[in-house]
Amino acid sequence: MFGINPLLLTRKEELSKEELAEAIRIAIIAELDAINFYEQLARSVKDEKIKKVFLDIAREEKTHFGEFLTLLEMLDKEQVSELKKGQEEVEELMGK
Domains and CATH numbers, the chain: 12-93 (1.20.1260.10)
- Please determine, for residue 15, whether its predicted confidence score (pLDDT) is greater than 80: yes
Mean pLDDT of the chain: 91
pTM reported for the whole predicted model: 0.82
Q: For residues 59 and 1, which has the higher predicted lDDT (pLDDT)?
A: 59
- Mean pLDDT over 31-56 rounds to 98
Contacts 24+ apart (CB under 8 A), 65-72: 65/28, 65/31, 65/32, 65/35, 68/24, 68/27, 68/28, 68/31, 69/28, 71/24, 72/21, 72/24, 72/25, 72/28
pLDDT number for residue 32: 98
pLDDT number for residue 80: 94
Rounded CA separation 26/80 (Å): 17
